[in-house]
Chains A and B, each alone.
Chain A
């Protein structure tokens, strides 16, 4: 079963981390990611830029409206996601706990994936 692990945190807090703190968090996450990769359980991973860089397309009118900023104003923002392949929810929760131990605060939403398409060649940034 594939799950998306959606990472939520107050971006004002994550942006207040010093470079060293940010690097330390990324290093801890890197260890978990490396192990998951070896086990063949890790799919695409993305860290998102702050919501001030976001644009929203609202379809509640015609033509659709382009708005600056995130879809919803919330206390925590969607800051990243992992796709993992696990045998069940317990394993997905276990992985999420490990990822979560890299830094305090925030929350994760674990959502089963219904459709997943892997393009033949990954996009390069």
Chain B
């Protein structure tokens, strides 16, 4: 490993904690980021000679604090001093060692940093971009690539998002229990958004978007490290790990989508599956089910099945039923119908989704699934109509290609 790559990993690992502490100190995101940036530059000079400090985050916080204060002093010769409440604890800078903070302070700091990115004034994509820039420390270039937009456009999007956050006055006092729980839930939802943005159905985009999935997993582990006994956070981390474990098997050499039933399961990532299964096992012991845990439990059943034929469809049917009760949604019912078709046959599945035809009439997957059930029931003409409808609604060429393959099989069988 080169100096740059190991220092890079140490800086990335220390970033959330160090930046969060600097944010509490300076109460200004730009100042905190500049201070962290300066501390990182000094680390790049100092660490190759001396090796990394035992506590890299503490080093970066101390150096960042001092660098930030120097910067304020320099600019204050030209600009009027910022109001006193912008910079706190100036007098005891030299005394305040990072070790004096206990774990609870760190936890609230990092949660605050994460929570800033989920502000309700921000759109989903702004939340994702801000989290990737601020918490994960991806470059604007990397984020722009993942969103398939120009660097300039992404820079503007992030600047606008930061402007909104800055004027939104995130409270800096320690949150109460209820507020803390709300923040944790909002952050979990944001992490899920990051993952979904990265979980593409298109092989051409997979390379560019994969970092979002990996960062989402890192953020989920970070949140779980802060709240190790929260079953829903275990469920979230498990869900992301189990989904991402299949990444290498999801597209074939030509870039076509490989469905779960056709995936080469030896290409699934065994270590991520083991971690996901361990987490869902731990979560279930708490007996406080929630949507992330249920979704993770479904993913776990797929991961545990040695082959597609070994999948426990009745259990998946039951879990989707539980998920429907927690979050009633026609899309979840549609997913359940796929399990029902395997467990109880296509007729039961079709009966389950027919009432959804109004709500899902413009939804690609509805017509695709309906076509598949009709095909299985030996009703090729109706299946053909449903597949044609699905192709018309396909979001990507890969989706359309998959349905066309179904249509071809229909013609072959007929």
Contacts and interface: CB of A to CB of B under 8 A. Distances in A.
10 contacts: A12-B13, A12-B14, A12-B222, A16-B10, A16-B12, A25-B1, A49-B271, A49-B275, A55-B282, A68-B228
A103 B12 contact: no
Nearest to B17: A12
Interface of B: 1, 5-6, 8-10, 12-14, 51-52, 54-56, 103, 218, 221-222, 224-225, 228-229, 234, 237, 271, 274-275, 278-279, 282, 285
A105 interface: yes
Contacts of A24: 1
B221 A52 contact: yes
A71 interface: no
Contact of B9 (A13, A75, A125): A13
B289 to A, nearest CB: 16
A52 to B, nearest CB: 4
Given A49-B274, A68-B282, 4 more contacts: A13-B9, A13-B13, A15-B221, A52-B237
Task: List 7 A-B pairs, minimum CB-CB distance, nearest first.
Answer: A69-B228, A12-B13, A16-B12, A53-B278, A13-B13, A16-B9, A68-B229
B10 A13 contact: yes
A21 interface: yes
Contact of A49 (B1, B13, B224, B278): B278
A122 interface: no
A104 B11 CA distance: 14
Nearest to A14: B9
Contacts, number: 68
B218 A15 contact: yes
A53 B275 contact: yes
Contacts of B52: 104-105
Interface residues of A, number: 27
A52 B224 contact: yes
Contacts of B54: 75
Contacts of B103: 73
Contacts of B274: 49, 125
B5 A21 contact: yes
A12 B222 CA distance: 8
A31 to B, nearest CB: 15
Interface of A: 10, 12-18, 21, 24-25, 49-53, 55, 66-69, 73, 75, 103-105, 125
A105 B6 contact: yes
Nearest to B272: A49
B400 to A, nearest CB: 31
Contacts of B285: 66
A17 B13 CA distance: 9
Contacts of A17: 9
A67 B224 contact: no
Nearest to B278: A53
A56 to B, nearest CB: 10
B279 A52 contact: yes
Contacts of A13: 9-10, 13, 56
B135 to A, nearest CB: 13
B275 A15 contact: no
Contacts of B278: 49, 53
A53 B10 CA distance: 22
A66 to B, nearest CB: 7
Contacts of B271: 49
Nearest to B277: A53
Contacts of A73: 103
Nearest to A102: B1
A92 B282 CA distance: 36
Contacts of B224: 52
A53 B279 CA distance: 6
Contacts of B10: 10, 13, 16, 105
B229 A67 contact: yes
Contacts of B8: 16
B274 to A, nearest CB: 6
A103 B279 contact: no
Contact of A50 (B6, B55, B56, B275): B275
B245 to A, nearest CB: 13
Nearest to B3: A104
B282 A104 contact: no
